[in-house]
Amino acid sequence: MGKKSRRPNRNKPKDIPAAASTAPVAGPRQGITSATDAVATFKQLFTSQDWAGLLELESKMSIAKTFESSNPSLAGIINFMLGSAHKGMSREGGIEQATLYYQKAIELAKKAGDNDILAKGVMCLSGFYVEVGRVEEAMDLYKSLYDKIGKERMDPKAILSFAEILEDTHEYSIALEILEHYLDTIERSWEKREQCLAYDMIALLYCKKNNFAKSNVYFKRELSIAEETKNVESEASALSRIGYNYGVMGDYGNAMA
């Protein structure tokens, strides 16, 4: 039984050699006269995953520092993108640099009262901490965000991404605890596709904890939404996994149904 990829952008960007950071960079370089222009330029490079371009632009123009006092919200966005650039390049020293940029983005977002960039910075840094084995710090950071903005403001995609990182690092119990904490919100306000992804992830986590009966509860929820939304791939996957779980439990009648 193979594991589905649940994150839309799960594939990592190709590594860029360290030397690429000094190469010519595509994209606009002229006419950056305001914070808005700066962020637009950074976003263009960020969207195209031109990590070397982002770092080259920052090193030449010190844009993030320029706007820290006058526009901390936009400076926070720039720092967030630079953190993601260092993470995406996967080069020596990148972990430390990405951490510093994400921390700066969080600091500036708090100063500006910008909860959106605060949430992005916290969730990315939390996931990053998990990936490098700093799970307790990740959970403390995540909980601080939850306490500040509340359950309803937490972005479903960020929650799913964070839970999947926890799953990938075998922190199954923590991932389950987080997702089940959002069950009422998932049912009430998440989009159908995100509901499907959440139930699929919860079901798989219960499989990994050998609780196949509980796993089927959530695979059946996924199946119901998949049938409702005519998501053929999720429907077929859920049916297959429900049958597999029944087989593992020795309930061959239901497994063949």
Tens digits of per-residue pLDDT, 4-14?
A: 445 444 334 33
Question: How many structural domains are present in the chain?
Answer: 1
Answer whether residue 78 is part of any domain. yes
Point out the least confidently predicted range of 38-42, 64-68, 111-115, 208-212.
64-68
* Angstrom distance (rounded) from CA 41 to CA 186: 35
* Cα-based torsion angle of the residue sequence 13, 19, 24, 29 in order, rounded to the nearest 10 degrees: 70
- Model pLDDT, residue 70: 78
- Interval 131-173: pLDDT, tens: 889 999 999 999 999 999 988 889 999 999 999 999 999 999 9
* Cα-based torsion angle of the residue sequence 235, 7, 178, 127 in order, rounded to the nearest 10 degrees: 170
Answer whether residue 26 is part of any domain. yes
- pLDDT of 22 over the 60 cut: no
Give CA 63 to chain center in angstroms. Answer: 26
Q: Tokens 């994209």 sit at which residue?
A: 27
- Interval 89-140: pLDDT, tens: 866 667 788 888 899 999 999 999 999 889 989 999 999 899 889 999 999 9
Answer whether residue 242 is part of any domain. no
Answer whether residue 43 is part of any domain. yes
Answer whether residue 51 is part of any domain. yes
Per-residue pLDDT band at 63 (split at 50, 70, 90)? low
The burial of 82, by beta-carbon neighbours within 10 Å (0-12 exposed, 13-18 middle, 19 or more buried), is given as buried
Please tell me which residue, 56 or 139, carries the higher pLDDT value: 139
Answer whether residue 162 is part of any domain. no
Domain range enclosing 85: 14-113
- pLDDT of 31 over the 70 cut: no
Average pLDDT of 61-81?
79
- Model pLDDT, residue 198: 96
Answer whether residue 253 is part of any domain. no
- Model pLDDT, residue 151: 87
253-236-7 Cα angle (round to 5): 130
Answer whether residue 141 is part of any domain. no
- Model pLDDT, residue 39: 77
- Model pLDDT, residue 93: 66
The pLDDT mean for the chain works out to: 82
- Model pLDDT, residue 74: 83
* Angstrom distance (rounded) from CA 109 to CA 80: 10
